[in-house]
Structure formats: C-alpha cells, structure tokens
Amino acid sequence: MRQLGDNSSGLDVNGTSCEIQDSILSPALPILYSIICFFGLVSNIMTIFVFFLRKHSDSSMAVYMNHLTIADFLLVMCLPLRVYYHNSPGPFYLCKVLGIFFYVNMYASILFLSLISLDRYLKIIKPVWVLRIHKVRWSHQASFSVWAGLVLAMSLFFLRNDREPPCERICFHFHHKGLLGGMANLTVLAGFYAIFLLFICFYARITTKLRNMSLGNRDPKAQRRKSRVILKTFVVPVIFTLCFLPYHLVRVPYVLAQMDVIQALGSKQILHILNELTLLLSALNSCLDPIIYYFLSCTYRRTILCALQGQFKTMYAINLCYSHLWRVTLGSHG
C-alpha cells in the first residue's frame, strides 16, 4: 500500500480510497471498452455518412438524430484514452478533462434521446403542437441549447479546485467528495430521474392511445401498422432504460459513499465495482443508438440494407435522391 501523507485530516479518507481494489475490473474493463470503441466507431462513422451526406435535416427528428450521432461519436473517440488511463497514474488535469468530455457526451445522448421521445409523444398524442414544436429551426435551437448548457455545467466541475490526494492519483478510481461536490452530483441525478419519470408518463399515454386505436379493428393491415408503430415508439425507451437506468440507480449510494455518508469499506468496494460496470453499460449506448435510427429513419434503414447487400451505388443514390427532394421542396416553398 502506498504511504499516506502527513495531512491527518485526510488520513482516514485517503486510506479508505487506497484500500479499494480494482483486481476484478482491471483485466476486463479495458477489453470491454475496446470492443465498444471498435463497434461504436464502425456504426457511428456509417451513421455520419448516411445522415450528413444529405446535408439537410428535413425534420425535427432528423435534427435530434444528427446531434445524437455527434455525441455518440465524440464519446467513442475518448474511449481509447479511457482504456489507456484506466487505473493508471496520469496527469491529474488530463483525468479531469477526459472525465468531463465523457460525461458531457453521455448526458448529451440522454438529452437528445429525451427530445426524440418528446417528438414521438407530440406526434402521437398532441399533433396540434406539431407545427410549432416540430419546426426544424426550433429543433436546432433546442439542440444547441443542450450543448451549451452541458458545456457550461461541466466547466464548473472542471474549474472546481480539487486537491490531488496522495492515494488518488489513479484515473477513474474511487474519489472522495466534499459536501459541495456531492450535492452537485446528486442534483444531476435528480435531473435524470425527472427525465425518466417524463419517459414513463409519455409512453404510458402512448400505450393507452395505441390500445384504444386498435380496439375493435381486426383488419390485418391495421394490426401490422400498429405493430410497426409500437416497435418504432418503444425502441427508444428500451435502449434508454437498459443503458442509463442501472448507472443512475447505483450512482446514488455511490455518491453517498464518496461523501462518507456510507462508511463501510466493504460497501464502498461493492459500489465502486457496480459503478464501473454500469458506466460501461452507459458507454454501450453509443453502439445501440444506430438501432434507433434503423427503426425511425427510412433513409437510414434503406441505406444500411443496401450496404449489407453490397449495393453501394444504390446506397449513394438513395442519399442523393433524398438530398435532391429536399432541395426541390425548398425551391417550391421559396
């Protein structure tokens, strides 16, 4: 065990951090993050090609998916450094920059998935609002507000004057937090739970409306159409819940352990392992979001099917056709 400093006020705190082990995580996490990085790069580069070849976002949904792709791609790009610095000594400021970069893009993904869900909810439940909320200009403004708010919030975390304790020089290890840092983290968690409750309300309303629409309608075509709508609607909350809910459930007791509200060393050890594993699950979202695009974007789905069949000329033609149609539409309204 490393020798502790002479600061008696932090002796027990730093000693506890040094006693928390990563023996179970050390061999597995770098490998798993590397796998996520590989598949995330492949899928997101393909997505960037599909979405940005069109050059125009012709719907609010397309705007949100474009920004979600950017967030996923940036998160994947920081994973190699996270693998390199996992449980290794590194410059303290670089650990902070890398951690903040990771969390900015993770929470950007959460917020853009939330905007996609709001978009689906309004189209199904409140179609009267479509003309206002679903305008592309409004969607761009909402998206840029998400980025600006996240960068500003995370900058405050970076500017916070954290000490570099003797036993906490390892990147991405258990770090203790003071009252201010702990409350800031708990506030972020409260925001996530508010979003998750909105998810539940949105999709409960959608489920009720879809069920009422199908009552007494035995037409096979109507049933198939209903099945497609259900699949397109619920792919977002399923992926959102799978990737982000476990991390935020673990995060509450984990932050309390960082604040020494939970003091038992065994509990801190278990929470540290669970925190790292569920954070890995959150990073997996960058590989799963293309599944959402497949179901919600006809252009993306057709392009992917052409690519899988080796029809790259057809794939390019599909994107070119959609870009041409968009320019024609703009000209007709000019």
Predicted TM-score of the model (pTM): 0.84
Residue 7, pLDDT > 50, answer no
Q: What angle do CA 153, 200, 146 make, to 5 degrees?
A: 25
Domain boundaries, the chain: 23-296
For 193, residues 6+ apart whose C-beta sits below 8 A from its C-beta are 248
CATH entry 3.30.1490.20 includes domain 23-296:
no
Which residues, other chains included, contact 10 with Cβ-Cβ below 8 Å and sequence gap of 6+?
165
Instruction: Find the radius of gyration of the CA atoms of the chain.
Output: 23
Average pLDDT value for residue range 117-129? 79
Average pLDDT score over residue span 196-215: 84
Condensed to tens digits (0 to 9), the pLDDT of residues 262-282 reads 989 899 999 999 999 999 999
CA proximity to 149, closest of 206, 96, 188: 188
Question: φ and ψ at 54, to 5 degrees?
Answer: -70, -30
Which pair of tokens denotes residue 146? 């998400």
Who has greater pLDDT, 298 or 250?
A: 250
> CB under 8 Å to 260, separation ≥6 — which residues?
13, 176
Residue 33 pLDDT: 94
Amino acid at 123: K
User: What's the DSSP call for residue 238?
Assistant: H
Q: Give the chain's mean pLDDT.
A: 80
| Pair of tokens at residue 302 | 């057709």
pLDDT, average across residues 287-294: 92
Of 184, 115, 176, 112, nearest to 153 by C-alpha is 184
Kindly report which listed range (145-154, 184-193, 220-229) carries the lowest average pLDDT score. Answer: 220-229
